[in-house]
Amino acid sequence: MNDDAAARLPDPSDLFIVRGGNPLRGTVRLSGAKNSALKLMAASLLSEGRVELRAVPRIADVPVMAEVLRGLGVNVQLDPEAETATLEVDGEPRWHAPADAVTRIRASIACLGPLIGRTGRARMAMPGGDRIGARAIDLHLQGLTAMGASVIQHPGEVEVHAKDLHGAIVTLDFPSVGATENLIMAAARADGTTVIENAAREPEIQDLCRMLIAMGGSIDGIGSPTIEIEGVDRLSGVTWETCPDRIEAGTYAMAAAVTGGDVVIERVRPTELTLPLIKLRAAGVVVEEGADSLRIKAGDLDAADVVTLPYPGFPTDLQPQMMVLLTQAQGTSRCTENVFESRFSFVQELARMGADVEVDGHHAWIRGPSALHGTTLAGLDVRAGAAGTMAGLVASGETIVRDVHHVDRGYAEFVPRLQSLGADVERVPAGARDA
């Protein structure tokens, strides 16, 4: 393993120790978006020149993605301090992705589309990531097949060949983020025009499209459900700044609100958080929007209903954090999860802290306010880990969050940033705690 990947791998046994009661106060400046940066890195496979990325978040998934790309022949240099990544393919990329790194993150699947677009073939293990649902890749493969690719399934691996990748009209069954991205990147180098109907519209996909255009690509309909991509012969190098992380911003906004705090969040696009901000206001939170900042002031929290949907719907990646907020609200709230079937596994953890939550299928009813008490939270995914930490900030006593390597995958400097806002939270090795 490369040095920078090894150096940045978090110790999986570390714990967060959270002592609740402190309202968050102050200013926090956030990172570039995880779900954009990883795809922008993958897009370097398409480039016949150097790709320089800025605002690359200091999260654990970035060096893992770098490892995947190095295995494919990309020369990757990361500078976590400067938040930059430089990526350059020497000649043609290799087509067989290394299984070890691929299986550790979901975003590794984003190499499939650019590899097909650039080399006409790819073989890779099924990707890893959070265990929050089935997370199939059938929509990715259906789209590539419509563009002339053939797919061979191996145990735990998929192999795709496309000698003459051509444009096609692809109508997705569901606006999948990953499938939309892969099809855009494959289509960027296909012969002719590809139209993706029922495309996902997430801001991170828009970021990817804009970078591809800066590389010489031709894409229309960015941010709409119909994206049209005209294939080009060559995509060149580019310098690009990753868009801000709206999920990270939403997490800090909810943490500020639930602790009764007053926090200014910088490096955020409030227009990309329209529905979460509507829901925070509905729940009694005072939200002041700047051009690239937000001020979140606590109010008396009221019940609110949220329904997760693809963008511009309420993001599934903010659902566990919103649920923590609603445990402190007066009345009964309802959360409906439409994107990932296993996302409610976090409810069990919240219930063990004293929350009153009832789940029926993809609905959860939260009766509040509940007095939460500290406990040990285990087996969480990236968003549930952040939400569990948030719950600890309002719980009585001490909350121990285990498996914090999940949180490291998506949140840069999570503990230091919370500490800078006055939270009583620390990160300790598991052994130090047992001693």
Nearer to ligand UD1, 118 or 409 (CB): 409
Distance in angstroms (rounded) separating the CA atoms of residues 52 and 95? 22
Q: What is d(CA 248, CA 153) in angstroms, rounded to the nearest whole number?
A: 36
281-285 contacts at long range (C-beta below 8 A, 24 or more positions apart) = 283/257, 283/325, 283/326, 283/329, 283/333, 284/329, 285/253, 285/257
Among 42, 55, 78, 137, binds ligand UD1 (CB under 6 A): 137
Residue 316 within binding range of ligand UD1, rule CB under 6 A: yes
Q: How many other CB atoms are found less than 10 A from the CB of residue 211?
A: 25
Q: Is 131 in the site for ligand UD1 (CB under 6 A)?
A: no
Q: Which of residues 320-379 bind ligand UD1 (CB under 6 A)?
A: 339-340
35 binds ligand UD1 (CB under 6 A): yes
Shortest Cβ distance from residue 347 to ligand UD1 (Å)? Answer: 17
Question: What 3-state DSSP class applies to 387?
Answer: helix
Q: Is 57 in the site for ligand UD1 (CB under 6 A)?
A: no
Give the H or E element holding residue 104: none
- Based on the shown chain and the rule CB under 6 A, indicate whether residue 135 belongs to the binding site for ligand UD1: yes
- Judged by CB under 6 A, which stretch of 2-10, 132-140, 329-337, 370-378 contacts ligand UD1? 132-140
Q: How far is the CB of 242 from ligand UD1 (least distance, A)?
A: 13
Interacting residues of 421 by C-beta distance below 8 A, sequence separation 6+:
24, 25, 26, 28, 252, 256, 261, 263
Under the criterion CB under 6 A, does residue 411 sit at the interface with ligand UD1? no
Q: Is 121 left (phi over 0), alpha (psi -120 to 50) or beta?
A: beta
The whole-angstrom distance between residue 362's C-alpha and the CA centroid of its chain comes to 21
Q: What distance in Å separates the CA atoms of residue 88 and residue 250, rounded to the nearest whole number?
A: 33
Identify which range of 51-59, 177-185, 209-217, 225-233 contacts ligand UD1 by CB under 6 A: 177-185
Asked if 139 is part of the footprint of ligand UD1 (rule: CB under 6 A), the reply reads yes
Minimum CB distance to ligand UD1 smaller for 383 or for 427 = 383
123 near ligand UD1, judged by CB under 6 A = no
Using CB under 6 A as the binding rule, whether residue 176 contacts ligand UD1 is answered as yes
Contact track, ligand UD1, 79-118, x by CB under 6 A: ---------------------------xx-----------
61 vs 301, which CB is nearer to ligand UD1?
A: 61
Whole-angstrom distance, CA of residue 360 vs CA of residue 26: 39
**Half-sphere exposure of residue 405: CA atoms within 13 angstroms, side-chain side:** 17
Question: Whole-number minimum distance, CB 428 to ligand UD1, in Å?
Answer: 28
Which amino acid type is present at position 325? L
> At its nearest, how many Å lie between ligand UD1 and the CB of residue 105?
7
With contacts defined by CB under 6 A, name the span among 161-169, 170-178, 182-190, 427-435 that binds ligand UD1: 170-178
User: How many angstroms separate the CA atoms of 404 and 190, rounded?
Assistant: 41
Is 130 in the active site?
Answer: yes
Among 178, 237, 260, 368, which residue sits at the site for ligand UD1 (rule: CB under 6 A)?
178
Q: Which of 82, 134, 291, 435 binds ligand UD1 (CB under 6 A)?
A: 134
Q: In the chain, what is the straight-line distance between the N-terminal and C-terminal CA atoms, in Å?
A: 32
Which among 259, 132, 111 is positioned nearest to 185, based on CA atoms?
Answer: 111
Catalytic residue among 14, 61, 79, 130: 130
Residue nearest to ligand UD1 (CB): 178
- What would the DSSP string read from start to end of 310-332? STTSB-GGGHHHHHHHHHTSBEE
Assess 272 for contact with ligand UD1 (CB under 6 A): no
What are the C-alpha distances in Å from 239 to residues 84, 233, 281? 10, 20, 37
Residue closer to ligand UD1 (CB basis): 363 or 373: 363
Q: Which stretch binds ligand UD1 (CB under 6 A): 159-167, 171-179, 293-301, 416-424?
A: 171-179
Return the amino acid letter for 313. G
The answer to whether residue 174 forms part of the interface with ligand UD1 (CB under 6 A) is yes
The b-or-e profile of 220-236 (16+ CB within 10 A means b, else e) is eebeeeebbbebbeebe
Active-site amino acid positions: 130
Please report, as ranges, the residues that interact with ligand UD1 according to CB under 6 A. Answer: 35, 38, 106-107, 133-140, 174, 176-179, 200, 316-317, 339-340
